[in-house]
């Protein structure tokens, strides 16, 4: 059930290819992708995706301010592979090279990673990735971790203890006091 992997489909603009089994007539002309599209014997357009990462990824995020609606190279996610030795893993995926970098800590469960670009950044991954973190052995311990978005090295964290148990949540926790 939790073996899903991030994939990318490419829908060709020119779909006038010949009808056939799809074994040789790939309608995808985009360079740098293994995604395929073809017309089957009935003339229907069919597609098969390319695999972007061998890890399950949930709540993917990318540099929305600069790349919303545009081709992007990197995205950040949390692992959906509950059977990993360390299921609480943050992942940076390079969609060009199909490689990934991970961050994890024993017993820690990070929330959805949020990419925050550096002011006036020019590189797509110039910024930080923020994630709230909980620990299995202390239900009141909470942290906000900041990772360098390029290297995925931890830059720092703020730790605090909540007044009561904090429920595990994929999307983080927010509270304000006035």
* Bind-site residues for Fe cation: 171
Which distant-in-sequence residues (6+ apart) come within 8 Å of 83 by Cβ?
2
Query: Residue 19 gets which letter from DSSP?
Result: B
Measured CA to CA, the distance from residue 159 to residue 144 in angstroms comes to: 7
Return binding residues: 171
Measured CA to CA, the distance from residue 96 to residue 73 in angstroms comes to: 6
Q: How many CB atoms lie within 10 A of CB 161?
A: 10
- DSSP letters, 49-72, are -EE--SS-EEEEE--HHHHTTS--
Phi-psi region of 23 (alpha: psi -120 to 50; beta: other; left: phi over 0): alpha
Which distant-in-sequence residues (6+ apart) come within 8 Å of 89 by Cβ?
55, 78, 79, 81, 102, 103, 104, 110
């Amino acid at each position: 059930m939790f073996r899903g992997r991030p994939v990318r489909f490419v829908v060709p603009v020119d779909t006038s290819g010949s009808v056939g089994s799809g074994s040789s007539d790939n309608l995808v002309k985009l360079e740098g992708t293994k995604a395929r599209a073809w017309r089957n014997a009935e003339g229907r357009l069919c597609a098969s995706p390319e695999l972007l990462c061998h890890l399950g990824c949930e709540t993917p995020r990318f540099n929305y301010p600069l790349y919303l609606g545009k081709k992007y190279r990197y995205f950040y996610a949390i692992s959906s592979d509950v059977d990993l030795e360390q299921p609480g893993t943050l992942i940076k995926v390079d969609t060009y090279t199909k490689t990934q970098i991970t961050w994890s800590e024993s017993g820690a469960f990070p929330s959805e990673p949020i990419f925050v670009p550096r002011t006036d950044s020019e590189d797509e991954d110039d910024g930080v990735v923020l994630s709230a973190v909980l620990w299995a052995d202390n239900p009141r311990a909470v942290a906000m971790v900041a990772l360098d978005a390029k290297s995925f090295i931890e830059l720092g964290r703020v730790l605090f203890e909540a007044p009561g148990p904090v429920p595990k949540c994929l999307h983080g926790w927010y509270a304000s006091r006035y």
